[in-house]
């Protein structure tokens, strides 16, 4: 149910067991050896330029981009180096140029940096608890929401397109497809 709600809200989402379509680039794109080396974090700038048009997307990447443009939910998976990050950059670039409310996230700070995004926890407002575990276990959920300093509802409302990189590292990932 949760995943359905997310999909309804965002139009483009992350893994869900009934989510469509499942794009699985099985073979790495044919790229020059020099380009393959740019997956190193220090080569982010070059990768960004590639996503902005200097490198033509592969057929499979284009197919995924077209589906994203059509507002479909996507689960993008594939072996290392098959072009997932470049695809994310291309989707982000397209969404930004259309002034869509796009948020690019990842479960860890390091992963988020690679895609110029933010952590999923920051976006969702999951921060450090300010009170004891006993307090949160006993108090009413409504009260916790009222006390929350993060403008969470704004984050959810302004995000039309949510991208989560490295979703398998998200601890509560399984809950999303419940």
Ligand X SMILES: Nc1ncnc2c1ncn2[C@@H]1O[C@H](COP(=O)(O)OP(=O)(O)OP(=O)(O)O)[C@@H](O)[C@H]1O
Residue 102: which H helix or E strand, with range? strand 102-106
CA distance 172 to 169: 9
Least distance from ligand X to the Cβ atom of residue 88, Å: 8
Q: CB-wise, 24 or 153, nearer to ligand X? A: 24
Among 6, 13, 19, 47, binds ligand X (CB under 6 A): 47
CA distance 67 to 90: 12
**CB-facing half-sphere around the CA of 178: CA atoms within 13 A:** 6
- Binding mask 49-88 toward ligand X (x if CB under 6 A, else -) reads -x----x-xx--x----------------x-xxxxxxx--
| 36 lies in the site for ligand X, by CB under 6 A | yes
The answer to whether residues 97 and 53 touch, using CB atoms and an 8 Å cutoff, is no
Question: What residues make contact with ligand X under the rule CB under 6 A?
Answer: 29, 31, 35-36, 38-39, 47, 50, 55, 57-58, 61, 78, 80-86
């Amino acid at each position: 149910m949760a995943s359905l709600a997310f999909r309804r809200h965002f139009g483009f989402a992350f893994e869900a067991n009934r989510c469509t379509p499942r794009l699985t680039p099985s073979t790495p794109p044919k790229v020059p050896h020099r380009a393959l080396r740019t997956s190193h974090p220090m080569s982010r700038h070059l990768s960004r330029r590639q996503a902005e048009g200097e490198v033509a997307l592969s057929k499979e990447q284009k197919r995924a981009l077209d589906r994203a443009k059509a507002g479909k939910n996507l689960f993008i998976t594939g072996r290392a180096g098959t072009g997932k990050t470049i695809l994310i950059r291309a989707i982000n670039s397209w969404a930004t140029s259309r002034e869509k409310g796009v948020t690019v996230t990842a479960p860890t700070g390091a992963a988020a940096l690679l895609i110029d995004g933010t952590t999923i926890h920051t976006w969702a407002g999951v921060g450090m608890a300010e009170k004891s575990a006993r307090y949160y276990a006993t108090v009413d959920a409504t009260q916790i929401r009222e006390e929350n300093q993060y403008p969470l509802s704004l984050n959810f409302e302004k995000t039309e397109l949510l991208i989560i990189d490295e979703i398998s590292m998200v601890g509560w990932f399984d809950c999303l497809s419940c």
